[in-house]
Structure 1
């Protein structure tokens, strides 16, 4: 009886892990275009300095 419970618990664990992996892959493949677009947007914004922060000290010094 104890062996049967252990086998059922192991089987349930394998099913849960498999379901979680399948769900992760489904979400990843479903949102992949959006994730890539967002990643490119973030990389692009980090590579270029923002114009408002670089002009701010110049505008305040020109007023003096």
Structure 2
């Protein structure tokens, strides 16, 4: 390959990566209020469900079965 061809390919790659980064940042800035609201809603909905239903019963069941069998 010619030196000029390699430079053009590298330049094109840099332009594509820059365009992708710019697009990502634009989406993040444009939808920031909606993304923050969705994250808060997910945090509130996951905390009670995960701490009350998955942690406590799974920890209590082995204790209650082992104490009832003894």
| Distance in 1 separating the partners of 2:48 and 2:4 | 62
TM-score normalised per structure 2: 0.65
How well do the aligned residues superpose, as a CA RMSD in angstroms? Answer: 1.7
TM-score normalised per structure 1: 0.71
Aligned length: 50
Map residues 27-42 of structure 1 onto 2, 5 A cutoff: 27-42=27-42
- The answer for the alignment partner of 1:45 in structure 2 is 45
| Distance in 2 separating the partners of 1:47 and 1:4 | 57
Give the ranges of 4+ consecutive aligned residues of structure 1 lying more than 6 Å apart after TM superposition: none
| Distance in 2 separating the partners of 1:14 and 1:45 | 41
TM-superposed deviation, 1:45:
1.0
